[in-house]
Chains A and B, each alone.
Chain A
Amino acid sequence: MKKVALVTLFAVFFLAGFSQAETLSLLTWKGYAPQALVDKFEKETGIKVEVTYSNNEEMIAKLRATRGAGFDLAQPSQDRISSVQEKYKIYQAMDYSKIDADLFIPSMLNAVKKNTQVGGDSFAAPFCWGTSGMIVNSAKAPGVNSWKALLDDKYTGRVSYRLKRPTLIAMGFALGYDPFALYSDATAYKAMLDKIAETLMAAKPLVKNYWANGDALLESMRSEEVFIAMAWDAGGWKLHDNNAAIDFVAPQEGALGWIDTFAIPSKAKNLDAAYKWINFMLKPENAGYFTTTEKYGTASQGANEFISPEVRNNFERTFPQAAIDNIKWYPPVPAQLERMEGKILDKVKAAK
């Protein structure tokens, strides 16, 4: 009797091991793998997608802990790839012959290739883009169009931002620096950070809270507890649909532009599925669906006709040509800066 049970047990494990379908484990941001597209992909290719949500810092930490194993595809921002790759070697070079270059907006593909180059290889392909700027409730805070509004005591208790590096960069621009130009000069960058820390600590009484969770921030904007926040464009446009007074504003200093990419971890198991997913997501109809539901701009060439008019409207309303030209795109971050920034952020958070 015992033997029979044991044999069945083994048989079950054995079969379970084999009947498992092919999977793609994807390390990405929330909203980057809409369920409808995951289902469609599975139907087309038979590959199941396992999605893990994360952010830039956690993605790097996770892949660093496993030395690039455990995921087949990751989606870091383009400016956070080259220095990390140089130091920890967590990605493998992208084989651009396996992705369909015609699907991409050529200038964006080239920019990402250039910015993620380490040695002779490049490590990423673009997926989507967006900007950090301000979400403003114009009924409560009319005429706001500068980062400086985050420091304005007219709005005491009605301001919210993250304690993350984009905030430091934005404050740098608000104080008249050009942080990106200082990337190569660590001493000058440090001096700028000290000034920013001083400013942020002085402005602490103005802040309602330092938001950590995007949904929670949107909720406090919706309930009109917060009037001005530093946040991503897509969030502001989502709120605009419900309350016309709330909208995303590209500050006059220039919105901060980011491009999120596809990069393949160095010990990815299912390379084939990873490239399939990249090509699938960039197909105009799928990219159009993604942009329509999640409101992030896409790197896909020709997706425009699949994007709903309201969403296209968002882009045109917020970004007239001058605002587009004024977007400050993140250049690749040199490694040692992040340590300095971490300390400054701790200091601000700990201050009274």
Chain B
Amino acid sequence: MVLEIQKPRPIWQIMFSTHHTDVGLLYLITSLAALFMGGALALAIRLELFLPGSQIIADSMTFNRMFTVHGTTLIFLFILPFASAIGNYLIPIMVRYKDMAYPKLNAIAFWMIPPGFALVWLGFADFTWNAYAPYSVISAPGPAADMWIFGLKILGVSSILGAINFIVTILKCKHPDLPLSKIPLLAWAYLTSSLIMIVAMPTFAAALLMLLTDRLGVSGFFNPARGGDPIAYQHLFWFTFHPEVYVLVIPAIGFMYEIIPRFSRKPIFSHGSGVAAFILLSIVSFASWAHHMYATGMSFTEKTVFMVGTLAAVPASAMHVFNFLATMWGGRIRFATPMMWSVGGIALFFSAGAGGVVNTAMPLDFITHDSYWVVGHFHLFVMGTIAFGSFGFLYYIFPYVTGRMYNEKWGNVHFITSFIGAVMVFFTQHVLGLYGMPRRIFDYPPFPEWVAMNQFASIGAMLLGIGAAIFLVNMIYSAAKGKEANMDDPWGIGGKYYYPYQQKNPHH
């Protein structure tokens, strides 16, 4: 077990442990496995789109299944478990408690992930990660679709259990001397994102059951042939998954709040503004779900309401960006790998947010909707912001987990290739969308602009793939053979490493 170098233990002791860092380690390994599996699908998709016509994927059904599982994997099996991993490692320590509030529930929440993972991958459904009705009811082939529904059901319950655990740990188990206003912003991030999760997720859980009974033919909630309304499914879906966007992004913002002050050698510009922005985001995230649905035939009034609700989320995100920049301003910045990822992530976060304003402006949405613009837009969030923040934090927490240091030079190379790659893929996809290319297509007509931009994007994707390969080797090699980290101050930035390994909570 390379990640437990310091005191090797048999693997089953980690697997059947309820200790927060052990569960955290399980989450971490699972999420990284999902990252590489989902990423491999993305590379295959980009290779296929390098030229018009069939390249490496035999038929459109395989392609459709691949992008469906790509999205499902990276959202539910990489981003969410990765956030849970970091939360498990640090939240109990940040609120000064011996473990998560419910250690057994914590282990149960983790162990629901492997069956969900298996159902999604063995089924390999084709109806996109949205599973829009009535396609998912009357047209999507089973048993893949049913396995996806059951898998998501399990993963959804797992997320709810994890969220309950974080909320109780932070609110009820924090040290009595520690007022809520003083807990670190990373803990605030977990508190707000868990609250959003708990309010949003049950709606999708209900929608999944309705979808399942519809597929079984015993109900017709979303099936127009039986008097149902397919648009109702979209409302239920986005009522969960627009807020979910913030569930995904808020922990990544929290990661940056840990890294940026530390590597700028300055305290955070405003703790209060960070807390306020998190709370604002968690409220307004519920006011914007139907901006995904302008083209379903919504009335002018509905569109206006959801445009205003969406625009209302922008100032809160802008407050975070300001906070980061003001913290860096005048700081003696050390551009170690975690800091590079954070700063790159902020730049792409800002770009993604600016693109989002275009999407929600009603007339412009009809240019961008369901085109490659949207693909580029949300990938700037999920890859550019969330994965960048997560990579940065993984490098940051690496000495804490392994007691060793990663290779700094290759960490920098990983960042530089990924940053260039991300800009090449996702900015190009924005432009490709303006040229009218729809998303989720296996093949496209050989319009010269489409071909050129697809090739440029695919080359960028290969850079991301090269970066990921470097990352994998760096992690494995450094975990086993890396230099011993100076646990007081691994980056030589002065001050103590925030959470020294020695402070680890005892096993129980």
Q: Do A and B come from one complex?
A: no
Instruction: List B residues at the A interface (Cβ < 8 Å).
Output: none
